[in-house]
């Protein structure tokens, strides 16, 4: 059997993004962590971490990490079966990566019941679009919600449905930039709002409209803030329908190009050997995610 003390150290270093913090989490000294990693590398015969800021697992390291992730999921099952095996440590949370918009809209509704029922704690990591898959590949998370269809090795991807985005702006903004109605070319000239550097929604929307080249945009890495900026007339942006129903109804935001929504399919990626709990969560999502999403068309 592998030495899981060493693997746990590797996992802690990557998850905590540093030896020092990893040591704290493990209840050890920084030195001990360093030694464990070194010993692990000696056993494996090659480095498992690239010493950078933050430390990044090597190819081998990633494989080991996602093995650890899978074993942890199995352990979760058995700890549910065998009382008094809780290790005394803090109750482990299930780490899941998802995109900010999902978290801001349908996620809580969809998983709320399951978590209270099962007494399950989550550790949610917000990641733009497809970056969550990287975490998955590195074995840092048990599952993720993202836009990529292709599962990583050892995992499965399940289509949950699509999130419908609409291009919105405040009435004042529209009056100012589009006095003669909205056209694709003009849209590219008006300032936009973009969630983060990895957020390519607006880019995709514009290129779907046939507009090439760059455009000016604000960066605002907060879902709520995003809506507030749009309301304040700073720019136009693509917002999840679900999140802005009130603003639309009250007329604080208006649609630029009606009947041109953007549907973004969302996939649930989860380890194939994820144990019963993750399996149950997957089933639950399959049934309850649809409520907040539109049926996907490809």
Partner DNA sequence: TCGAGCAAATCAGTTCTCCTAATGAGTAAT
Partner DNA sequence: ATTACTCATTAGGAGAACTGATTTGCTCGA
Can you give the binding site for DNA, defined by CB under 7 A? 5, 13, 18-20, 23, 27-32, 34-39, 51, 53-55
Question: Is 42 near its own copies (CB under 8 A)?
Answer: no
CB atoms within 10 A of CB 69: 22
Q: Is 230 helix (H, G, I), strand (E, B) or coil?
A: helix
CB atoms within 10 A of CB 296: 16
Question: Is 282 near its own copies (CB under 8 A)?
Answer: no
Return the one option of its own copies, DNA, none that residue 235 interacts with (CB less than 5 to 8 A, by type).
Answer: none
CA 38 – CA 34 distance, rounded (Å): 6
CA 227 – CA 168 distance, rounded (Å): 9
Nearer to its own copies, 86 or 198 (CB): 86
Question: Is 175 near its own copies (CB under 8 A)?
Answer: no
Alpha-carbon separation of residue 237 from 66, 75, 106, 186 (angstroms): 37, 44, 19, 14
Q: How far is the CB of 159 from DNA (least distance, A)?
A: 38
Q: How far is the CB of 34 from DNA (least distance, A)?
A: 4
Return the one option of its own copies, DNA, none that residue 85 interacts with (CB less than 5 to 8 A, by type).
Answer: its own copies
CA 120 – CA 93 distance, rounded (Å): 7
Question: Is 4 near its own copies (CB under 8 A)?
Answer: yes
Q: How far is the CB of 267 from its own copies (least distance, A)?
A: 21
Question: Is 43 near its own copies (CB under 8 A)?
Answer: yes
Question: Is 186 near its own copies (CB under 8 A)?
Answer: no
> Using CB under 8 A, which of 52, 81, 213, 214 touches its own copies?
81
Q: How far is the CB of 75 from DNA (least distance, A)?
A: 18
- Residue 236 in tokens: 């136009």
Question: Is 28 near its own copies (CB under 8 A)?
Answer: no
Question: Is 10 near its own copies (CB under 8 A)?
Answer: no
> Using CB under 8 A, which of 14, 16, 33, 70 touches its own copies?
70
Return the one option of its own copies, DNA, none that residue 116 interacts with (CB less than 5 to 8 A, by type).
Answer: none
Question: Is 295 near its own copies (CB under 8 A)?
Answer: no
Find all residues with CB under 8 Å of 77, minimum gap 6, and list them.
Answer: 275, 276, 277
Return the one option of DNA, its own copies, none that residue 269 interacts with (CB less than 5 to 8 A, by type).
Answer: none
Burial 170-206 (b: 16+ CB within 10 A, else e): beebbeebbeeebeeeebbebbbbbbbeebbbbeebb
DSSP state of 290: G
CA 213 to chain centre: 28
Nearer to its own copies, 67 or 204 (CB): 67
106: phi then psi, degrees, rounded to nearest 5: -85, -20
The total number of residues shown for the chain amounts to: 298
* Residues found near its own copies in the complex (CB under 8 A): 1-5, 7-8, 43-46, 60, 63-64, 67-68, 70-72, 74-75, 77-78, 81-85, 87, 154, 272-276
């Amino acid at each position: 059997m592998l030495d899981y003390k060493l693997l746990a150290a590797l996992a802690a270093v990557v998850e905590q993004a540093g030896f020092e913090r990893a040591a704290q989490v493990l209840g050890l000294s920084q030195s001990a962590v360093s030694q464990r990693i070194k010993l692990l590398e000696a056993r494996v015969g090659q480095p498992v971490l690239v010493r950078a800021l933050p430390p990044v697992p090597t190819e081998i390291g990633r494989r080991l990490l996602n093995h650890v992730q899978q074993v942890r999921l199995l352990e979760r099952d058995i700890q549910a079966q065998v009382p008094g095996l809780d290790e005394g440590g803090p109750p482990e949370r299930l780490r899941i990566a998802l995109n900010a918009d999902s978290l801001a809209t349908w996620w809580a509704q969809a998983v709320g019941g399951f978590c209270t029922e099962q007494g399950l704690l989550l550790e949610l990591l917000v990641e733009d679009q497809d970056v969550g898959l990287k975490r998955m590949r590195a074995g840092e998370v048990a599952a993720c919600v993202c836009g990529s269809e292709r599962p990583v090795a050892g995992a499965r991807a399940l289509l949950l449905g699509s999130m419908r985005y609409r291009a919105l702006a405040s009435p004042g903004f529209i009056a100012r930039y589009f006095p003669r109605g909205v056209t694709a070319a003009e849209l590219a000239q008006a300032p936009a709002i973009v969630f983060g550097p990895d957020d390519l929604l607006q880019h995709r929307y514009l290129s779907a409209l046939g507009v090439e080249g760059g455009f000016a945009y604000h960066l605002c890495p907060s879902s709520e803030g995003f809506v507030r900026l749009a309301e304040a007339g700073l720019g136009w942006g693509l917002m999840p329908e679900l999140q802005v129903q009130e603003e639309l109804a009250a007329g604080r935001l208006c649609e630029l190009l009606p009947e041109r929504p953007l549907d973004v399919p969302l996939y649930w990626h989860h380890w194939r050997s994820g144990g019963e709990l993750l399996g149950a969560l997957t089933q639950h999502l399959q049934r309850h995610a649809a409520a907040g999403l539109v049926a996907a068309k490809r």
